[in-house]
Chain A
Amino acid sequence: EVQLLESGGGLVQPGGSLRLSCAASGFSFSSYAMSWVRQAPGEGLEWVSAVSGTGGSTFYTDSVKGRFTISRDNSKNTLYLQMNSLRAEDTAVYYCATYTGSSGFDYWGQGTLVTVSS
């Protein structure tokens, strides 16, 4: 059974940093691209970032370029999102998800809440 478990969310002040983790199990982690998708309170879904199976290719939405860094450790079956220079508009539930170019986001974690507020 595929399981994705996010952690690392919490309350952070504007301008601060946070690192999210996503522990994966039940599938061949290194064979899948992975992604982060976020959802602000009461709002829709927004894709944030993606990384290839090897970690060699990364993609970002414009609003987080230069502030967020996606990475993965295939030896630990873990995906990361380093978030710097956080803004109030980054407040959201952050989901990790498997991604394939043939079927979109197949599997999702339950999400971790990031709140940026003073």
Chain B
Amino acid sequence: EIVMTQSPATLSVSPGERATLSCRASQSVSNKLAWYQQKPGQAPRLLIYGASTRSTGIPARFSGSGSGTEFTLTISSLQSEDFAVYYCQQYNSWPLTFGGGTKVEIK
């Protein structure tokens, strides 16, 4: 099983600032890496797939990078609606696995 590790667990950021979230895989997942956003009481939403491709309707301030075992989600200028929990997930091999999440909170 591929273990996905996200850091930090919590990120405190002021509105308008840049946020950088990390995700590490225990073995290579190539570019089969997705990022999801989840707000309280809501289902997750796909933000990024293929490590760097934004899903339909996702604003350009969200960007993903990386390949192999190291990945990054960057939110260039945090808006109020971006405060949420973010999960990475690999779909390179079964079982599919998620990281533990990074909570982005208002500083």
8 A-B pairs closest in CB distance = A104-B34, A103-B49, A108-B43, A47-B96, A45-B98, A44-B101, A104-B91, A61-B95
Once the chains are docked, how many angstroms separate the CA of A59 from the CA of B50? Answer: 22
State which of B38, B42, B55, B97 has its C-beta within 8 Å of the C-beta of A106: B55
Tally of B interface residues using CB under 8 Å: 24
Residue positions of B touching A, CB distance < 8 A: 32, 34, 36, 38, 42-46, 49-50, 53, 55, 87, 89, 91, 94-101
Q: Is B89 a contact of A104 with CB atoms below 8 Å?
A: yes
Residue positions of A touching B, CB distance < 8 A: 35, 37, 44-47, 50, 59-62, 95, 99, 101-111
CB distance from A55 to the nearest CB of B (A): 17
Query: Interface SS of chain A: helix, strand, loop or mixed?
Result: strand
CB distance from A95 to the nearest CB of B (A): 6
Once the chains are docked, how many angstroms separate the CA of A103 from the CA of B48? Answer: 8
Given known contacts A95-B43, A110-B43, A111-B43, is B95 in contact with A105 (CB within 8 Å)? no
